[in-house]
Amino acid sequence: MLRILMVKELKDMLRDKKLVIGMILAPLLIYVALGAVVGFSARESMKIVQERARIGLELGIINLDGGAYSRLLIDFLTNYVHARLVPVNSCDPRRALEELASKNVHAVLLVPRGFSHNISLGKPASLYVFMKIGDLSLSSIALAGLYSGIPRSFSDYLSSFLIVNSTGYEPRFLKNPVRGIARIELAGVFLDLELVQGLVGQLFMLPIAPMLVVGYAASLAAMSIGVEKEEKTLEVLLSLPISRRSIVLAKLTGSLVISAISSVSMLLGFTYYIYSVSHSVGNLTTVSIVGLVGTEVLALFALSVFLSVLLASTLGLYLGSYGEDVRSAQSMVGFLWIVVLAPLYLAMFSDLTLDPVPKNVAISSTPFTAPVIVLKAFISGRPLYAALSLLSEAVLLTVVVLLLARRFEGENLLVGRGSSGGKGIRIRFPRRGRQGHEQG
């Protein structure tokens, strides 16, 4: 008997195509979409790096040494690395980067005084690489890795050169005669490469929370209208002398309050997460995203989360209205995880400074990318992308609200189908006249 009941329940569930799509196929599609988006973004990021490496690196050089080994370094960069060296007038790395920005060069190699003298004495010498990146992305970090690897490459070259042409050096010195020190300018602050990589790690965790919040918001909204249909309270509500626009407004107000609370909760959690991670690394004001963007941008970040959650809730109400009960209403929004997940990670892997403008505009205009785009836009100094992202979410929210209002004005709200036909469940009430005729 138990086996028969189990088979019966399983058949009842699998008979609902919406449930199969929303609950069974959706998880598979989510990971397929995630793999496709991440793979595509990673390949596009590596193309930029490979193209730079193919045509040769461009960097400014500040030679404060002028000795024999600094000349050997220049020869190595020109003939072996095939780098294009751009002379600069300033000896200050920050001013040199500003000077080179007009030439689309974003790295400076500084050879300090005493570089050749230290090597001739068998003491490790230092080379400084200063880079400016515009965004926290795989492309920028990979390019920074190329530039920061120059001192190590020259150290290996110099080690072989000294072994062949000189004697009397200690093996410990020959193992690593040159030390490289890489400093990256991001949002006007010079940071170590390791700290910038930590910031990228912080930012890569960002899409997870909006994805969960937005997905649950849509699911709860769909469930709320599904419960009303299942318990027949929606019929009672629609029969009351209340305008349907008032009903829609009341439901949107509920979503508005929940979205506001969710935004504040997520902002507090995100701030704690950033500070707790940064506290384990170093100075809070320089190695955290919060320290880079400031409290004003955090307020815009909260606004972006609010719009995304409100959009998801409204979309959940609209899609959930096409279900007949709780189960079918929730299955209607099962695919929404893919709609949220793919754009978030596409925005996460994009580079607002290196990618083409049309691509950045398209990503910024995609729904649910605002929480990521807002932070990346202000880090890279391109606030127009943040404004575009917020505006696109507001426009789409307006469209969904209008569709929801039109849905409530229709006559098919109770039967879970659209106003343009379809095979929905029809509710027929017998006419009194016909009943009387049959009884007679």
In the chain (440 residues long), the average pLDDT of successive 10-residue segments reads 72 64 65 74 73 78 92 91 86 89 88 93 93 83 86 92 85 91 85 80 70 74 77 76 77 76 74 66 53 79 86 84 74 71 80 86 90 88 92 92 81 54 42 44
Q: Give me the residue spans of the domains in the chain.
A: 15-44+205-415, 56-197
Residue 150 is given by DSSP the state H
DSSP assignment of 12-54, as one string?
Answer: HHHH-HHHIIIIIIHHHHHHHHHHHHHHHHHHHHHHHHHHHHH
Q: What angle do CA 404, 406, 408 make, to 5 degrees?
A: 70
Residue type, 292: L
- Provide the pLDDT for residue 137: 81
- Provide the pLDDT for residue 232: 78
pTM: 0.72
Residue 104 backbone dihedrals phi, psi, to 5 degrees: 60, 35
How would CATH label the architecture of 56-197? 3-Layer(aba) Sandwich (3.40)
- Provide the pLDDT for residue 151: 92
Residue 314 is given by DSSP the state H
Cα torsion through 379, 344, 349, 93, rounded to 10? 10
- Provide the pLDDT for residue 334: 66
Radius of gyration of the chain (CA): 30
Residue 414 is given by DSSP the state G
Cα torsion through 36, 331, 329, 6, rounded to 10? -170
- Provide the pLDDT for residue 76: 93
DSSP assignment of 154-214, as one string?
Answer: HHHHHHHHHHHH-----HHHHH--EEEEEEEEETTEEEEHHHHHHHHHHHHTTTHHHHHHH
The H-or-E segment that residue 89 falls in is none
Residue 5 backbone dihedrals phi, psi, to 5 degrees: -65, -40
CA distance 280 to 261: 29
Three-state secondary structure along 386-401? HHHHHHHHHHHHHHHH
Distance of CA 141 to the CA centre of its chain: 16
CA distance 192 to 206: 22
Residues 224, 332: contact at Cβ < 8 Å?
A: no
